[in-house]
Structure 1
Amino acid sequence: MALEQPPTRISELADQCVQCGLCLPACPTYALDRSESESPRGRIAIAAALARGAAEPTAELRAHLDHCLGCLSCQRACPAEVRYDELLIGTRALLGPAPQRPRLLLGLLGLLQRPRLLRALRRIGAALGATRWSRALARHLPPYSPWRTALGLLPATSPLPLPRGDAAGAELALFPGCVASVEDAEAQQAALTLLRAAGYRIHVLPAFCCGAMDLHGGETAGAEQAARRVRQAWEASGATRLLSVTSGCLGTLRQALPNVPVLDPLTLLAERAERLRFRPLPLRVAVHLPCTQANVARSETAMLKLLHRVPQLEVASLPRPPSCCGAAGSHLLEFPERAAQLREAALQPLAALAPARLLSSNIGCRLHLAAGDDAKHWTTQHPLSLLAQQLEDRP
């Protein structure tokens, strides 16, 4: 699919919607606002009107489109198989970047999309005890401001180094990403440990942004540049399949590489689950299912199959979408108040589950969930990290 769709294509995609309303129960923003304009079919109608010139892109109309989390739960529920992802991305490309997009974090500095800079700043921050003073600083910033939200996401520890891949003969390539390459290096190392135990060899690509935040934010030029870089790195790898431990990157990587199998490592590990043996872990964990894992990666069954192989591990799942956590890429920075409302709704069932850990495969979701009011009651972890820690005979 092209990164920028002409108005005629947006109109064609909108015409596929039969306005049945079966998407409404699946939509987290409709559940939040109970407004037709905050529903998938309402946004489809808005996109069609804008594409046909029947409406002007006012701030009010644009806000309804910008509020969309892009979780794609509606697309999975749609009986007419409307390509909502293509329609949303095309409409945002037509409109250009949203006015509330935090330019210093995502634009001029591009801090979240430059892993080397982010890693260096995180190391400095950890050495200076940034988590102690950042919370105090955040209290002096306006409520629900992007910078206050960003400060609240800072982990306390220094980031781990990127994992090293196999020197030659790798059939798999691992895409580290940008934020994930810094904040989720442990999960990436865990993926390599588990995949090697299952008999795979893995090449690790350079760390850079896949372009997901630009793509979903209407920054067409930045998304195209990132897609070219993805293709160049992939062609140089010599691998046959591409992996990402961050489910939020999978859709964008598949778009950049339409003829390449782009997979969640959990899927491959589940196929060779009989090769993996795990030590017992008498612990109760709750599993948060990111929208991208449910609707893009489709790796929930594989993840649960692997977790259930850990003896004595008690696994409880949080309710499925529409209880989206509200992170949604840069959405938590663009609409911090709405994101916080969705987070608290997603976390509410945890009190009854009383887990020792909360597992989630998306780094954005984990950082966002960990910043919630009740997060002090549990630790967050990638499922791959738990599996690697319990693996017997680690390579």
Structure 2
Amino acid sequence: MALEKPPYTREQKIAALADQCVQCGLCLPTCPTYGLDGNEAESPRGRIAIAAALARGDTEPTESLRLHLDHCVGCLNCERVCPANVKYGELLVETRAMIGPTPQRPRALLAVLKQPTLLRLAARLGGAKGLGRWRRRLARRLPAESAWRVALEALPESRDIPRLLPSEGHDERPAVALFPGCVASVEDAAAEEATLALLHAAGYRAVRLPAFCCGAIDLHGGEMKAADALADRVRETWRAAGAEHLVTVTPGCLGTLRRALPGVDVADPINLLLARADRLRFQPLARRVALHLPCTQVNVARSDAALATLLRRVPELDVQVVPRAPYCCGAAGAHMLEFPERAARLREATLEQIATVAPQQLLSSNIGCRLHLAAGMDGEGRHWPHMHPLTLLAQQLEVSP
């Protein structure tokens, strides 16, 4: 359906986006969910056809049809190989907004995950009560498909809650605002502190923004009213920051932040650090690390090559990039909570790939991916310590006296 003017309705927009697909099938080999099922409806091409039929009123959003849309992990591998430049991510967001969130969505759990204050309180209580000793026992009492069970299993045994550095004062250095997010602001606080230290060493002035959810969980779940409200908060917070760049240690937030702030330089801090890598010196580290590349780092941040380059500036560090097939580890934001069995199958394939490089440590920049992968590690030699790559870089940073 060719349109001579911009679409006026969501349905028209979805139909126009779908019409860009030439049905070539080049996306199929890159799609993790198609790899799981070999089902056309579980491929980008199949989902585009479903979205178009829904938008044009040719079919109703039955439970079975919407399940194919909900199964999509949003990795955007299809966009990278599409010869027609179909904006699949935008089409998926708009289609989920049109049909609304799934009735099975674990709203109570997601509401907790979006509140950093509640997460910090839970982390402190868990540490005081020895959560690591009893969380798995409690999880086993819950049904296998329970989102709460998955969340308990993904909680770390322990965490370092660092003393967060204060924001730098005003000076002439380029200003970078760090967006802490929700889960990352608690579970990846060490990576955020590391980022501030690295940016400072590279000659930037770092400004820490308040911690809150960027809206990704709601945006990708069809909760558009909540996502729009959080986008407004992002814009207000950014205007008050007075910075030139906005960064986050979690690539999974980048797409949502860019959607809220068109025209703003929303970047992975890796790219800013590599641009000034000549100012950074690292101490040697004789260690073999597996570098897991989250889908959003490859397809949204597009900083995978920059990250590998920066890590290889650490003398003696043996960086082994984990082979990407089957492309997605299965975490995918709330996907691992909503579809734990499917997420576990994707995770197992990723852990097998990690094992092929025989690492001493696992690095991954997405907190959801790291927690999901750690929950699947077993006693067969797959108990690798894991951290954010920026945390390792900050630990090895040579600080001038």
Same fold (TM over 0.5): yes
Alignment of 1:97-246 (within 5 A): 97-106=101-110, 110-158=111-159, 159-169=161-171, 171-246=175-250
SS of 1:305's partner is helix
Contact in 2 for aligned 1:278/1:311 (Cα 8 Å): yes
Aligned partners of 2:54 and 2:61 also within 8 Å:
yes
Q: 1:34–1:64: structure 2 CA closer, same or farther, 3 Å change rule?
A: same
Which residue in the other structure is 2:273 paired with? Answer: 269
Q: Paired residue for 1:288?
A: 292
Change in Cα spacing, 1:279 to 1:5, as seen in structure 2 (3 Å) is: farther
Q: Which amino acid aligns with 1:177?
A: G
- SS for the counterpart of 1:353 is coil
- Is residue 55 of structure 2 the alignment partner of residue 51 of structure 1? yes
**Pairing 1:274-353 to 2, within 5 Å after superposition:** 274-353=278-357
Comparing 12-21 with 120-129, which one deviates more in the overlay?
120-129
Judge conservation of contact 1:160–1:185 (CA < 8 Å) in 2. yes
Counterpart CA distance in 1 for 2:400 and 2:265 is 27
Q: Does 1:32 align with 2:36?
A: yes
Q: Secondary structure at the match of 2:318?
A: strand
Q: 1:356 aligns with which of 356, 360, 363?
A: 360
Percent identity (aligned):
63
> Which segment is superposed worse, 361-370 or 140-149?
140-149
- TM-score after normalising by structure 2: 0.95
User: Aligned AA for 2:370?
Assistant: R
Extract unaligned runs of 5+ from structure 1.
none
SS in 2 for 1:214: helix
Query: Cα–Cα, structure 1 residues 120 and 394, in superposed 2: closer, same or farther, change >3 Å?
Result: farther
1:208-265 CA-partner distances (Å, limit 9, x unpaired): 0000000000001110010000000000000111001100000000000001000000
* Aligned mates of 2:304, 2:338 — CA distance in 1: 28
Q: CA 1:384/1:167 → structure 2, altered by over 3 Å: closer, same or farther?
A: same
How far does residue 104 in structure 1 lie from its aligned partner after superposition? 1.1
Deviation per CA, 1:18-48: give whole Å up to 9, x if none: 0000000110000111000000000000000
Q: Distance in 1 between matches of 2:196 and 2:312?
A: 20
Residue type of the alignment partner of 1:153: A
The farther-off stretch of 96-105 and 18-27 is 96-105
Q: Residue 325 of structure 1: CA displacement?
A: 0.4
Instruction: Give distance in 1, aligned partners of 2:390 and 2:194.
Output: 6
Shift in Å, 1:274: 1.2
The answer to whether the Cα contact below 8 Å between 1:246 and 1:362 also exists between their aligned partners in 2 is yes
Is the CA contact (8 Å cut-off) linking 2:54 and 2:60 kept in structure 1?
Answer: yes
CA deviations over 1:115-158 (Å, ceiling 9, x no partner) = 01110111111110011111101111111311110000111225
Kindly report the root-mean-square deviation, in angstroms, between the aligned alpha carbons of the 2 structures: 1.5
Residue equivalent to 2:390:
384
Output the CA distance in 2 between the equivalents of 1:94 and 1:162: 41
Residue 3 (structure 2) aligns with: none
Q: Which TM-score applies when normalising by structure 1?
A: 0.96
Shift of 1:352: 2.3
C-alpha contact 1:162 1:181 (8 A) present in aligned 2: no
Deviations 1:330-355 (A, max 9, x none): 00000011001100011102222110
Could you tell me which residue of structure 1 aligns to residue 256 of structure 2?
Answer: 252
Tell me which stretches of 4 or more aligned residues in structure 1 moved more than 6 Å. none
- Would the aligned equivalents of 1:172 and 1:242 in 2 still touch at CA under 8 Å? yes
Say whether the 8 Å CA contact 2:176–2:206 is kept in structure 1.
Answer: yes
Higher mean Cα deviation, 326-335 or 170-179? 170-179
- Checking the alignment, whether the CA contact within 8 Å between 2:201 and 2:279 is kept in structure 1 is yes
Question: In structure 2, what is the Cα distance between the partners aligned to 1:351 and 1:296?
Answer: 26
Alignment partners' CA distance in 2, 1:53 and 1:133: 50
**AA aligned opposite 1:382:** H
- Kindly state the Cα deviation for residue 323 of structure 1 after the two structures are TM-superposed: 2.5
Report if the CA contact (8 A) 1:279-1:310 is conserved: yes
Query: For 2:12, what is the secondary structure of its paired residue?
Result: helix
- SS at 1:332's partner residue? helix
Farther off after superposition, 162-171 or 240-249: 162-171
Residue of structure 1 in register with 2:26 after alignment: 22
- Partners of 2:384 and 2:269 in 1: how far apart? 25
CA distance in 2, matches of 1:282, 1:203: 33
CA drift of 1:5 comes to 6.2
